[in-house]
Amino acid sequence: MGNIRYALKGRVRLVFLAIVLVPLLFTGLEAQALARQERPSDPELEVIFRDLESRIARTLQSFQIPGMAVAVVQGGELIYQKGFGVKKLGGVDPVTTRTVFQIGSTSKAFTATLVASVVEEGKVGWKDRVIMHLPYFAMADPWVTEEFQVRDLMAQHSGMKPYAGDFLAMIGFDRDYIVRSTANIPPVYSFRSEFSYVNNLWVTAAAVVEAKTGLSWGQNLKKRILDPLGMSATTCSMAELLLTADRSTFHLLEEGKVKAIPEDWFLFNWPYVYGPAGGINSNIIDMSKWMIFQLGEGTYQGTKIMEQENLLATHVPQTPIGSGRNSYCMGWLKSEYHPYPLIWHNGATSGSGTLVMLVPELDLGIVILSNLVTPATDALGLTFVDLYCGNPSPGEHLGKALEGWQEQLKSSAEGIKPPKNAHPPLPFAAYAGVYESPLVGKVRVMQHQGRFFLRMGPRGVDADLRHWNRDTFICEMEGLDEGPLGMVRFELDPEGKAFAFVITDEDGDLVSRFERESVD
């Protein structure tokens, strides 16, 4: 049948809230003890920011990013803010310091802070079992269900595959369904054994907060964080974004070219279904207040909003990543760097890329918001830290990121080709019908005017089935241009009619099994 795993592995699947960990960015500098230990003077800062601005200008061009906004805080103050480029490709409306972007997975730290706030009130404990607060919560393994703690919801070591179940929001399922869906997602790792980045459990974390407060996640966000910090431009819904006059348009890459995402695109709203994991809208002014609060360890402009120990609990490593130089905390990552560790997180929606990076020992933070998802935001954040600290070779991050990005685009453009000497499929009628799985519910396998596809979910979203080899098809859905949803393999009865199919991911791991609906 050909090596499906190998064929899919070459594609980089860009999904909402992807963590882009680039290990090379965190190696080698410790041996070079050349960093400036003191804070730069004002004249030195001016030079640093001019250097940074020139690098940003080149970055916009080399990565094809239409627009970006950057802010820096230090010592409890906003010391730098600037917009670059335009809000929409081909337009003239500039990005300003108040232009609102989607902030993607950097929303996770907000949800972790909400959990910390109810921990502070004694309503929840970090090590409470989730079923104490959400009796209906379940994982596929009953033992894991019993042992799953509140902190585990945010520590990225659940045992599920990275991005497990993300497509459920795309095809129309709501937050309650997503919380309950984890019972039907097969694990691929042992519980707490491996770092594996998922979004669905952040919806569960928000459900815990809602259960203990009687308020929605959005209401808690406003009451406990946004209002106390004066983050008046920050919202958490698509409707609120579209009511914002100074907002960015978001962009995707299609066949190596940037295109604007229309606001009536059928997938535009799905990040907001995953709101607690990545559905916040904000600008660099408001995000600067958020960074000052985090660096102030719960205090903002002299007012204590949260006890230090509860806020800093979200910065404590929970799960090592790779060699352990990077660790996932709760809504943050901690990375060993020179001269000081970094607390950071990035984010990616369908068309907006974000970085929030803190250096607590220097009381320093940088936020970068862009209207195209690329590794440039991470590289620029590290470049700034190097410039600020006097580290050697600050330009290497952007060079290596661009090299990797171009290789990724090349790989994506090559596409996925069926194996040589592939066997033809049966007539599509042999596969067509209604199937059902515990995870997705009913799915229709359909053919129409030569097109073969699945129709899934409450929204009736279509995913094309492109033939691979005999009874196996590549499943492709709009909005996942960087890679397919997975592979669909039909199982046939002795008469040559499909009675079931499975969807597997790029590694060959099971996503879900679908049985043909019986006809009485």
One digit per residue, pLDDT tens: the chain, 520 residues? 333 322 222 222 333 334 444 433 444 444 343 444 578 999 999 999 999 999 999 999 999 999 999 999 999 999 999 999 999 999 999 999 999 999 999 999 999 999 999 999 999 999 999 999 999 999 999 999 999 999 999 999 999 999 999 999 999 999 999 999 999 999 999 999 999 999 999 999 999 999 999 999 999 999 999 999 999 999 999 999 999 999 999 999 887 889 999 999 988 899 999 999 999 999 999 999 999 999 999 999 999 999 999 999 999 999 999 887 999 999 999 999 999 999 999 999 989 999 999 999 999 999 999 999 999 999 999 999 999 999 998 889 999 999 998 888 877 666 667 888 899 999 999 999 999 999 999 999 999 988 999 999 999 999 999 999 999 999 998 765 556 789 999 999 999 999 999 999 888 999 999 999 975 4
Rounded to 5 degrees, what are φ and ψ at 386? -65, -45
Quick one: which H or E segment has residue 455? strand 451-456
Strand partners, 516: 435
Give the pairing of strands 364-370 and 281-282: unpaired
Q: Which CATH architecture has domain 12-105+230-412?
A: 3-Layer(aba) Sandwich (3.40)
Domain boundaries, the chain: 12-105+230-412, 428-516
Burial annotation 123-162 (CB, 10 A radius, 16+ → b, else e): ebebeebbeebbeebbbebeebbeebebbbbbbbbbbbbb
DSSP 347-391: EE-SS-EEEEEEEGGGTEEEEEEESB--THHHHHHHHHHHHHHT-
263 CB neighbour count, 10 Å cutoff: 13
Report the distance separating Cα 217 and Cα 214, nearest Å.
10
Rounded to 5 degrees, what are φ and ψ at 448? -155, 120
Q: Do domains 12-105+230-412 and 428-516 have the same CATH topology?
A: no
CATH classification (class only), 428-516: mainly beta
Model-level pTM?
Answer: 0.93
